[in-house]
C-alpha cells in the first residue's frame, strides 16, 4: 500500500436548489491534510480509498439532475462513512460550466456536455479534462387541453408539428396537421383555441436538448432558430407564448394555462403527474418517455460515443436523438459530468471514488430517484473506462 498526502477542501454541505449561489473563494482556498490509501487488486485498476479525515469536493450545474445527485451524495456518504463530503449546487447547466471553467467548482454537470464556447476555452488553455454520462435523461412535451382530459384522450404529436407550433405556423389546436395525428375517437375533442407556447426563460440544458431535437427534425427551425441554452422563440413575438423559470415554472404555467404546451425534463413530468404527449419516432410509432424507450435509444448510441476529451456539446443531436427502433423515444440525452485531469492528484482520487460509485452502486434501482433512468450497460461500461483517466493521468 502506498500512502499519499491529500490536500482537501473543508466546507459544509449545503443543498441548494436556487440559481444565484456563488462559491466563496476563501472556502475553496482552505486546505487540510488527510491520508489516502490505494489498494491494488489483480483484476482491475486500483480503486483509491480515503481513510483519514473527511475530504470535500464541490460540483454544480444542471438543475434537472439535482434530485438524483442529492440522493447519490447521501447514499455515497452513508456507504463511505463520510470520508468524502460531496456538495452539489443546482445552478443550471450554463452556470455550472462557467463556474467550473473559472475554477470555482471541482466538477460540473450539464444536460448536454460542455458548450462550444466552453470547449474552445479548454482547447485554448490546453487544460486536460474528461466527460462522462451519469444517468439517462429525456425531454417530455407537456400540455393542457381540458377537452382532451375530460374525454380521456392523450395527445399525439410529431417533431415537425411541435416545431411548427413554436415557429408560429400552427396557431390552433384544431389545425388539421394536429388533428390527423390523433386517434380517430379524439379528433373531435381538439378545441378551436389558440395554442399558448411555454418555454424556459433561463439558460437551460433542457432547452438545449429540446431545441436540438427540433433542429434535427425541422429544416426551417434549424435555419431560423437553431439550438442552445437560450433561443429566440418566434411564437413569443406573436403574443402567443412566454418563458418561465425552471422546470417548476414551465410546469406551473402549463398547468394553470388552458390550451398551453411546454416541455420539461421527463423525470419531472412523471414525478409531478403532468400530462405528457406521445411523440412520433423514426419508425412512425407514437411513444412516451419511459425506462424502456429511453434506454433503447441510448444503448444504440453507446457504440458511437466519442472520446472523453472530444467535443460533446452536440452529442445528443448527433448520437442520441431520433434513433432507429420501434420502441425508441426520440428526445433523449444524458446529463454529463466533467472534471479536470490536471487537477491535484489527491482531488482526482476523491472525484474518482465518488463517480465510480455513481456508475456502479449508484445505477442500482434502490439508488435511482423515481422518473430517472440508469444508463444502459454498454454506456455505463464506456463511462467507467473513461473515468480511469482520473487516476492514470500524469
- 82 CB-near residues (< 8 Å, 6+ apart): 54
Q: Residue 111: what pLDDT?
A: 86
Burial of 304 (0-12, 13-18, 19+ CB in 10 A): exposed
- The verdict on 177 and 239 lying in the same domain is yes
- The answer to whether residues 87 and 173 belong to one domain is no
Rounded to whole angstroms, the Cα distance separating 101 from 95 reads 10
pLDDT score at 28: 35
What is the spatial distance between Cα 3 and Cα 53, in angstroms, rounded to a whole number?
14
User: What's the pTM value of the predicted model, to 2 decimals?
Assistant: 0.79
Cα separation of 373 and 267, whole Å? 9
pLDDT at 354: 97
Q: Write out the chain's pLDDT in tens, 394 residues.
A: 433 333 333 333 333 333 333 333 333 333 333 333 333 333 344 454 444 445 899 999 988 888 899 999 999 999 999 999 999 999 888 899 999 999 999 999 998 889 899 999 999 999 999 999 999 989 999 999 999 999 999 999 999 999 999 999 999 999 999 999 999 999 999 999 999 999 999 888 889 999 999 999 999 999 999 998 899 999 999 999 999 998 889 999 999 999 999 999 888 888 888 999 999 999 999 999 998 999 888 887 777 788 999 999 888 888 889 999 999 999 998 999 999 999 999 999 999 999 999 999 999 999 998 878 999 898 999 999 999 999 998 7
The pLDDT assigned to 267 comes to 83
284 in the same domain as 199 = yes
User: What interhelical angle do 205-217 and 93-102 show, nearest 10?
Assistant: 120
Is the same domain home to 131 and 142? no
Same-domain status, 162 and 209: yes
- Structure confidence at residue 44 (pLDDT): 43
Residue 40 is predicted with a pLDDT of: 35
Position 64 scores a pLDDT of: 81
Residue 163 domain flag:
yes
Q: Which three cell numbers stand for residue 281?
A: 419516432
- What distances in angstroms separate CA 133 from CA 154, 184, 331, one per listed residue? 32, 41, 16
Q: Do residues 280 and 155 both lie within one domain?
A: yes
How many structural domains are present in the chain? 2
Clarify whether residues 250 and 263 are in a common domain: yes
- Do 10 and 93 lie in a common domain? yes
pLDDT for 54 equals 54
Domain assignment of residue 164, given as a range = 138-294
CA distance 171 to 7: 59
Residue 313 lies in a domain: no
Give dist(CA 155, CA 141) in Å, integer.
10
CATH number, domain containing residue 284: 3.40.190.10
Cell of 76: 455515497
- Rg, the chain, Cα only: 22
Domain boundary (239, 270, 294) is at: 294
Phi, psi torsion values for 243, nearest 5 degrees:
-95, 155
Q: Are 287 and 202 part of one and the same domain?
A: yes
Work out whether strand 241-244 and strand 196-200 pair parallel, antiparallel, or are unpaired: parallel
Both 120 and 167 in one domain: the answer is no
Q: Which of 175, 335, 348 is nearest to 261 (CA)?
A: 175
Residue 92: the pLDDT is 85
Among residues 58, 62, 74, 66, which one has the least CA distance to residue 23?
58
Amino acid at each position: 500500500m502506498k500512502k499519499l498526502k491529500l490536500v482537501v477542501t473543508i466546507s459544509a454541505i449545503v443543498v441548494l436548489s436556487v440559481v444565484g449561489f456563488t462559491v466563496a473563494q476563501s472556502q475553496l482556498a482552505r486546505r487540510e491534510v488527510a491520508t489516502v490509501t490505494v489498494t491494488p487488486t489483480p483484476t482491475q485498476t486500483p480503486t483509491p480509498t480515503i481513510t483519514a479525515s473527511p475530504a470535500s469536493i464541490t460540483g454544480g450545474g444542471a438543475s434537472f439532475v439535482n434530485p438524483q445527485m442529492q440522493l447519490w451524495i447521501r447514499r455515497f456518504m452513508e456507504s463511505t462513512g463520510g470520508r468524502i463530503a460531496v456538495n452539489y449546487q443546482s445552478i443550471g447547466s450554463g452556470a455550472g460550466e462557467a463556474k467550473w471553467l473559472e475554477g470555482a467548482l471541482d466538477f460540473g454537470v450539464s444536460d448536454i456536455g460542455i458548450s462550444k464556447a466552453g470547449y474552445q476555452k479548454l482547447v485554448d488553455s490546453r487544460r486536460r479534462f474528461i466527460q462522462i454520462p451519469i444517468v439517462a435523461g429525456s425531454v417530455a412535451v407537456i400540455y393542457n387541453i381540458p377537452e382532451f382530459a375530460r374525454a380521456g384522450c392523450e395527445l399525439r404529436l410529431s417533431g415537425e408539428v411541435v416545431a411548427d407550433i413554436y415557429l408560429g405556423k400552427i396557431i390552433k389546436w384544431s389545425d388539421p396537421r394536429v388533428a390527423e395525428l390523433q386517434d380517430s375517437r379524439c379528433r373531435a375533442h381538439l378545441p378551436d383555441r389558440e395554442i399558448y407556447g411555454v418555454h424556459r426563460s433561463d439558460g437551460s440544458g433542457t432547452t438545449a436538448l429540446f431545441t436540438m431535437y427540433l433542429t434535427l427534425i425541422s429544416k426551417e427551425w434549424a435555419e431560423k432558430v437553431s439550438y442552445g441554452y437560450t433561443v429566440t422563440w418566434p411564437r413569443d413575438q406573436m403574443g402567443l407564448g412566454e418563458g418561465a423559470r425552471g422546470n417548476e415554472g414551465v410546469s406551473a404555467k402549463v398547468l394553470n394555462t388552458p390550451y398551453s404546451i411546454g416541455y420539461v425534463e421527463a423525470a419531472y413530468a412523471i414525478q409531478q403527474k403532468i400530462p405528457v404527449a406521445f411523440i412520433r419516432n423514426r419508425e412512425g410509432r407514437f411513444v412516451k418517455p419511459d425506462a424502456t424507450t429511453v434506454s433503447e435509444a441510448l444503448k444504440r448510441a453507446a457504440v458511437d460515443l466519442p472520446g472523453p476529451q472530444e467535443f460533446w456539446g452536440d452529442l445528443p443531436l448527433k448520437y442520441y436523438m431520433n434513433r432507429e427502433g420501434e420502441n425508441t423515444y426520440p428526445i433523449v440525452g444524458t446529463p454529463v459530468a466533467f472534471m479536470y485531469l490536471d487537477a491535484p492528484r489527491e482531488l482526482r482520487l476523491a472525484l474518482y471514488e465518488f463517480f465510480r460509485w455513481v456508475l456502479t452502486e449508484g445505477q442500482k434501482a434502490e439508488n435511482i430517484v423515481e422518473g430517472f433512468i440508469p444508463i444502459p450497460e454498454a454506456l455505463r461500461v464506456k463511462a467507467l473506462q473513461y473515468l480511469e483517466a482520473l487516476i492514470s493521468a500524469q
